[in-house]
Amino acid sequence: MKILVALKRVVDHNVRIRVKEDGSGVETENVRHSMNPFCKHAVEAAVQIKEQNKAKEIIAISIGPIEAKDVLLNALAMGCDRAILLKTEKEQKIEPLAVAKLLKIIVQQEKPDLVFLGKQAIDDDANQTGQMLAGLLDWPQGTFSSKIELEENRVNVTREVDFGRAKISMPIPAVITADLRLNVPRKTALPMIIKAKKKPINIMEAKDFNVDLQNRLIVERISEPPKREGGKILNNVQELANIINELEAEK
């Protein structure tokens, strides 16, 4: 069994996002970046499968600027065997459809049995790439997975949905996207990172893949959310009840 895991480099989730003055996007210069959190769960799932001797090789892939090598290194430190970087220009934005088309080409070259992705990237919150990739490959998809179980030539995925949990069973090969409750991603200590530096990262230019990387969406304007008004500490429940009554009376 071979698993391909797709990872996106995003602005670190602890960073306070600043919108550019001209509203054209958010500041990314000199801002800490890291692996998209949902992608960490995807890597952890793949590594756990390998630790159970159910997978022979895990390949991590990212499409992004040269700095995305860092998130690939992190994935190698977590336990992936090798990595692929499809390099883009520094500020180049690649929409989910183009990412899915590039991933499809790598899937056809590498022939993995499973492709793991995060359920969504926290920068654009698109939640599209896994679904589009499955569509382009004509493979079954298990999205928002909170549990992955392997069987002979099949994979079962538990999905957390509005009405509870849905367990679906799919033939392999399949595309699976990871939700937060899938696992607890391992932390990478320095010795793991040093060891990972010996693992191969194959760097290729995204533009050489004959995929139309032109963006389809026009982002008209990005604006800051409205400032939150300050809270007020009340002395007792009666004060709270009075405020609620006043608000009700105003309706």
First and final C-alpha spacing in the chain = 61
Residue 223, CA atoms < 13 Å, CB-side half-sphere: 5
For position 74 contacting ligand AMP by CB under 6 A, the verdict is no
Q: How many CB atoms lie within 10 A of CB 198?
A: 7
Q: Work out how close the CB of 246 gets to ligand AMP at its nearest, in angstroms, rounded to a whole number.
A: 42
Residue selected from 35, 45, 59, 62 as contacting ligand AMP according to rule CB under 6 A: 62
Eight-state DSSP code of residue 125: -
For position 10 contacting ligand AMP by CB under 6 A, the verdict is no
DSSP secondary structure of 169-206: EEESSEEEEE-GGG--PPP--HHHHHHHTTS-EEEEEG
Residue nearest to ligand AMP according to CB distances in the complex: 118
d(CA 161, CA 214): 34
* Cα–Cα distances in angstroms (integers) from residue 45 to residues 5, 55, 86, 121, 249, in the given order: 10, 11, 23, 17, 53
For position 84 contacting ligand AMP by CB under 6 A, the verdict is no
Q: Work out how close the CB of 129 gets to ligand AMP at its nearest, in angstroms, rounded to a whole number.
A: 3
Which region holds residue 212: left if phi is over 0, alpha if psi is between -120 and 50, else beta?
beta
Quick one: 62 or 74, whose CB is closer to ligand AMP? 62
Number of residues binding to ligand AMP, judged by CB under 6 A: 23
Residue selected from 11, 58, 63, 134 as contacting ligand AMP according to rule CB under 6 A: 63
Quick one: 100 or 153, whose CB is closer to ligand AMP? 100
Residue selected from 11, 35, 38, 211 as contacting ligand AMP according to rule CB under 6 A: 38
Instruction: Indicate the SS3 state at residue 39.
Output: helix
Residue 134: is it exposed, middle or buried by C-beta count within 10 angstroms (0-12/13-18/19+)? buried
d(CA 78, CA 195): 10
Q: Work out how close the CB of 224 gets to ligand AMP at its nearest, in angstroms, rounded to a whole number.
A: 22
Q: Work out how close the CB of 153 gets to ligand AMP at its nearest, in angstroms, rounded to a whole number.
A: 24
For position 176 contacting ligand AMP by CB under 6 A, the verdict is no
- State which of positions 86-145 bind ligand AMP (CB under 6 A): 94, 96, 99, 117-118, 120-121, 124, 126-130
Q: Which residues contribute to the site for ligand AMP (CB under 6 A)?
A: 6-8, 36, 38-39, 42, 62-64, 94, 96, 99, 117-118, 120-121, 124, 126-130
